[in-house]
Amino acid sequence: MTVAREPGFPYEFECKRSGNCCAIPGGFVRVTDAERRAIAAHLNLSETAFASRYLQPDGVHLKEGLGNRCTFLQDGAHAGCGIYPVRPHKCREWPFWPEILTDDRLQQLVQRTCPGIRAIDEGS
């Protein structure tokens, strides 16, 4: 795995496959038309069947699975994403979300629950 850093974020990230990012309370993943088509194709579903099974009534947010978890989170020795090759852009950006920089409580939650995050010194 690769260690990632983004300017302005007080941490670096190396995925440890905990799945915690896929179970943040109140988290909502918006999907674009292109992402919906790609996920549906990946799952061998029609777009209508995909929308009916996996999208909120608004047609743009993924439904939650059990316990506020992403419906595509798979358990195992290492948690995994059932649609990893076609996961939404929001998931690809984790944990470098702009809202983390403006929401202290969210930043604390992310740093506390994600084992792949390591605080860095500003001078590093």
* Domains in the chain: boundaries: 4-119
How confident is the model over 47-62, as a mean pLDDT?
Answer: 94
Task: Please tell me which residue, 10 or 79, carries the higher pLDDT value.
Answer: 10
How confident is the model over 76-103, as a mean pLDDT?
Answer: 89
CA-to-CA separations, 60 to 17, 32, 41, in angstroms, rounded: 26, 7, 17
pTM of this prediction?
A: 0.83
Plot region of 94 (φ>0 → left; ψ -120 to 50 → alpha; else → beta)? beta
pLDDT at 115 over 90: yes
pLDDT at 117: 95
pLDDT at 17: 86
Residue position matching structure tokens 């084992």: 115
